[in-house]
Amino acid sequence: MDLANMNQTASPVQPHCAVLSQPDPLQVGGVSLNSRLFLGTARYPAPSVLAGAVQAAQVEVLTVSLRRLAPESQSGQAWWQRIREMGRHLLPNTAGCHSAEEAITVAQMAREIFGTHWIKLEVIGDDYTLQPDPWGTVAAAQTLVREGFAVFAYTTDDLVTALKLRDAGVAAIMPWAAPIGTGAGPRNLPALRTLRERLPDSVLVVDAGIGAPHHAAQVMELGYDAVLVNTAVAEAGDPVAMARAFTLSVQAGRLAHCALPMRTREVAQASTPMVGVPFWHQGS
């Protein structure tokens, strides 16, 4: 069945995006992406499992990081070699940084090592919740944008912080759904909805706290541009299958967003027509 034609003939209303009938790429950081699922590379049981997940999910963006290197552990770069061979866009992070200054330096080191001007900016303000520091994040973003970086800024769902990141000129704003690694799913959907409504022209990517595919679908339905997942895939019983499940859920959520979900109601409303109901008013 031709879904595009079915859609057009079923309703005179024009869909506000044409996901069914034409490609729906995401433009971010100077590139065009067909996949709206970004995948973290940590916590997999083996490099081969990560490779299988990347392949199954057809992801185009992989996050990576930098850590101190001891001379005797240079053979540990096997993971890096494997990731590089995958040929995907690399999004290095500044995980573990606690100040704008640290994050800027790590970003500069990442640009040299990974050969990309993309940086996933993380400035942590609280070690227990791993909640980002909005002041440090905005300050670092301003400097990094001036230095030519495409900044993907990890933040909370706070609207004003997101507005300031937009004003700083970041490539993408990446609010959390819940704290990193919790898998709790969106804890504040109204806040995420507000971000989407108030930042209609910004690239918004939900990062952190996604635990299951339905969480990803949920935020994509809100109109988020992409989702970044790591632990939910890496720690699944079958990471390869879960990676594929996330891709499907992201696609479903995107399609649902473009299909304009119905408005919810407080009371029941019969979906079957009421006219001609058998035994209507005959009593019993």
Partner 1 sequence: MNTPTNLQISSGLSVQINGEPVQTSSATLADLLTERGYDATQALACAVNRHFVPRTLWAQQVLQPGEAIEVVSPVVGG
Q: Identify the residue among 1, 13, 23, 112 touching partner 1 (CB under 8 A).
A: 112
* Burial bucket for residue 243 (CB in 10 Å: 0-12, 13-18, 19+): buried
**According to the binding rule CB under 8 A, does residue 148 interact with partner 1?**
no
**Choice among 36, 88, 111, 120 that is catalytic:** 120
Residue 74: helix, strand or coil by DSSP?
helix
In the complex, minimum distance from the CB of residue 67 to partner 1, in angstroms, rounded to a whole number = 5
Interface with partner 1 includes 70 (CB under 8 A)?
A: yes
Label residue 113 left, alpha or beta by phi (over 0 means left) and psi (-120 to 50 means alpha): alpha
230 is in an annotated binding site: yes
Q: Which of 7, 21, 108, 188 binds partner 1 (CB under 8 A)?
A: 108
Interface with partner 1, residue 65, by CB under 8 A: yes
Tell me the number of residues near partner 1 by CB under 8 A: 38
Considering beta carbons, is residue 19 or 151 the nearer one to partner 1? Answer: 151
> Edge-to-edge, what's the strand order for the sheet holding 205-207?
37-40, 226-229, 205-207
Q: Which of residues 224-263 bind partner 1 (CB under 8 A)?
A: 228, 230-231
- 101 is an interface residue for partner 1 by CB under 8 A: yes
The answer to the question of residue 68 lying near partner 1 (CB under 8 A) is: yes
For residue 63, say whether it is annotated as part of any ligand binding site. no
- Tell whether residue 7 is a contact of partner 1 (CB under 8 A): no
User: Shortest CA distance to 203 belongs to which of 41, 53, 61?
Assistant: 61
DSSP letters along 233-283, please?
A: HHTSSSHHHHHHHHHHHHHHHHHHHHT-PPPP-SS---SS--TT-TTTT--
Cβ proximity to partner 1, 58 vs 105, nearer residue: 105
236 is in an annotated binding site: no
Residue 95 engages partner 1 in binding (rule: CB under 8 A) = yes
The residue within the footprint of partner 1, chosen from 37, 54, 61, 114 (CB under 8 A), is 114
Task: Pick between residue 65 and residue 218 the one whose CB is nearest to partner 1.
Answer: 65
Say how many C-beta atoms besides its own lie within 10 A of residue 225's C-beta. 21
Q: CB-based contacts of 94: which residues, under 8 Å, 6+ apart? A: 102, 103, 106, 107, 110, 119, 120, 121, 122, 123, 140
120 is catalytic: yes
Is 276 annotated to bind ligand?
A: no
The C-alpha atoms of residue 211 and residue 184 are separated, in whole angstroms, by 6
Contact between 43 and partner 1 per CB under 8 A: yes
Q: Residue 211, annotated ligand binder?
A: no
Burial 181-218 (b: 16+ CB within 10 A, else e): bbbbbbeeeeebbebbeebeebbbbbbbbbbbbebbbb
Tell which positions 159-198 bind partner 1, by CB under 8 A: 180
- Which residue ranges make up the site for partner 1 (CB under 8 A)? 40-44, 50, 63-72, 74, 77, 79-80, 83, 92-93, 95, 101-102, 105-106, 108-110, 112-114, 180, 228, 230-231
Which positions are catalytic? 120
